[in-house]
Amino acid sequence: MIKHILKLIWNKRGSNALMILEILLSFVVLFVILAFVFFNMEREKLPLGFDYEDKWRVSLDELYQQDSVVIVEAMTNLQREFRDMEEVKSVTFTKFMTPFINSVWQTSSDEHGFEIDVQVVMVDLDFMKTMGIQINDGRWFDEQDLSSEQDPVLVNQRFMDKYFPDKSMLDSTLMISGEHKLIGVLEDYRYMGEFSEPWAMMFVLEPFHENHHFAMLDMKDGTPATTEQEIVALANRYTNQTSCTVEYLEKERVDNNRDQWMMIYALMAICIFLCLNVALGLFGVLWYNISRRKSEVGLRQAMGAHGGDISRQFIAEMLILAGFALVIGLFFALQIPILNITEYDDSLFYKAAAYASVIILVLVFVCALLPSLQAARIRPATTLRED
């Protein structure tokens, strides 16, 4: 029977080509959207590596315009004042590489052909405690590191996995824009948010640096919003400015992710709309085909086909057409992981292709089911007389 159906499909290849094209295009759009969604979902599942709850960021934007001595003095005073506040658990000063700000400090080195690309984050001694950073191996900076001869650094786990997999490099010297002594490995610090690209990172100790623009505060749970005024007043006083602001990392995270979630929801909506469109299209075409082929259905029944044979035939025709479209679609889609066209994980594309194929097949089956069952109920005596 399959051979017979293939003959029918081949002999009607003109009209079937359009159907195959429609299913193929639907597969391509589904594949691309699902790959995008899975890609983002995979990223979203990766650990951020820091806490954002009860974390406040105080911007000290105009401080860097002042003399370095004044800056250090202002930061020292601010650190003391913030620490004295009952609601503040800890405080740290950083540059622009703070959570949910899309700012990058990147450096690279090439030592005898061994290339390393890293994002650099300048931190002080309290950064780990304030931001809730997890150390996987080694230790965080301590007081002795401030006077260490070799610049101590920490890296994230991704750095180790990328450049020194399955090796412990603790206490080794890393040649990245100078010599650095590796003292620890932290889990991660994906400060640009859940959907950001994971990077190899290096953490350099630079307390009270003149380019530090932000104070990060770890607040006690349930701190009232009125404390914000107190903090702004302190910051303005010690930095001699009037533009200090406080932002909540929890809210920043939501704002930062909103665009990406909107994009995902919009694409998912397109996906659903597309599926509905394809479903209605297939349903209509099949319904029309069956009404056009009523006499054929009657004839087949007269020749000995049972209702089940009729519905199976129409469903099989549609599934075979969908199969053709999927074979073509999969051929092109799977070139992406096979030829390593992108740097992304191959499994992403296999997964998207598999899901898109299953969705298309289920869609086609469901759309074919009702008209096919309807065809099975056609009375041969009526249709054979009609023609």
Partner 1 sequence: MLQLSNISKIYRTKTIETTALHQINLDIKQGEFLSIMGPSGCGKSTLLNIMGLLDEPSQGHLLVDGQQINNYSSKSTSRFRNEKIGFIFQSFHLIPDLKVIDNVELPLLYRSISGKERRRLASEALDSVGLANRKAHFPSQLSGGQKQRVAIARAIVGRPKIILADEPTGNLDSVMGDEVMDILINLNKESGATIVMVTHDERMAKKTDRLVRLYDGAQVA
Residues that bind partner 1 (rule: CB under 8 A) add up to a total of: 27
- Residue 50: enclosing H or E segment and its boundaries? none
Question: Nearest approach, Cβ of 318 to partner 1 (angstroms)?
Answer: 16
Q: What DSSP designation does 3 have?
A: H
Instruction: Indicate the residue among 305 and 320 with the shorter CB distance to partner 1.
Output: 305
Place of tokens 């003149």: 210
Site stretch for partner 1 (CB under 8 A), options 64-72, 122-130, 303-311, 341-349: 303-311
- Applying CB under 8 A, which part among 124-132, 164-172, 183-191, 305-313 lies near partner 1? 305-313
Q: How far is the CB of 377 from partner 1 (least distance, A)?
A: 9
DSSP letter (8 states) at residue 181: E
The answer to the question of residue 387 lying near partner 1 (CB under 8 A) is: yes
* Least distance (Å) between residue 375 CB and partner 1: 14
Instruction: Find the binder of partner 1 among 135, 270, 302, 362 (CB under 8 A).
Output: 302
Q: Which is nearer to partner 1, 183 or 310 (CB)?
A: 310
Q: Which residue from 165, 167, 304, 339 is in contact with partner 1, where contact means CB under 8 A?
A: 304
Least gap, CB of 301 to partner 1 (angstroms): 7
Q: Is 300 in the site for partner 1 (CB under 8 A)?
A: yes
Stretch that binds partner 1, among 6-14, 187-195, 225-233, 267-275 (CB under 8 A): 6-14
Instruction: Give the nearer residue to partner 1 in terms of CB position, either 138 or 307.
Output: 307
Query: Do residues 105 and 119 touch, judged by C-beta distance below 8 A?
Result: yes
Nearest to 170 by CA among 155, 190, 150, 151: 155
Which residues in the 237-296 window bind partner 1 by CB under 8 A? 295-296
Name which position in 8, 169, 319, 330 contacts partner 1 (CB under 8 A).
8
CB contact set of 179 (below 8 Å; sequence gap of 6+): 150, 151, 173
Cα–Cα dist 107/8, whole Å: 63
Residue from 107, 245, 308, 340 that binds partner 1 (CB under 8 A)?
308
Among 233, 269, 370, 381, binds partner 1 (CB under 8 A): 381
CB of 8 to partner 1, least distance (A): 6
User: Does residue number 169 form part of the binding site for partner 1 (CB under 8 A)?
Assistant: no
> What's the Cα-to-Cα distance from 274 to each of 8, 29, 122, 322, rounded to whole Å?
28, 9, 47, 16
Look up tokens 């990060």; give the residue: 216
For residue 181, the cross-strand partners are: 152, 173
Continuous segment of H or E residues that includes residue 212: none
Please, what is the minimum distance in Å from the beta carbon of residue 13 to partner 1?
10
| Counts of helices then strands in the chain (DSSP H, E) | 12, 11
**DSSP SS3 for 227:** helix
Question: In the bound complex, what is the minimum distance in angstroms from residue 300's beta carbon to partner 1?
Answer: 7
Structure tokens at 28: 């391509």
Backbone angles phi, psi at 94, to 5 degrees: -140, 175
Residues 321-380 that bind partner 1 (CB under 8 A): 379-380
Q: Determine which residue in the list 40, 309, 334, 374 makes contact with partner 1, applying CB under 8 A.
A: 309
* Interactions with partner 1, residue window 181-240 (CB under 8 A): none
Q: Residue 5's closest CA among 326, 16, 327?
A: 16
* Residue 210 to residue 96: CA distance in whole angstroms: 12
SS3 at position 49: coil
Shortest CB 264 distance to partner 1, Å? 44
From the list 238, 234, 231, the residue with the least C-alpha distance to 63 is: 238
Query: By C-beta, is 299 or 369 nearer to partner 1?
Result: 299
Paired strand residues for 117: 108
Interface residue list for partner 1 (CB under 8 A): 1, 3-4, 7-8, 11-12, 295-296, 298-309, 379-381, 384-385, 387
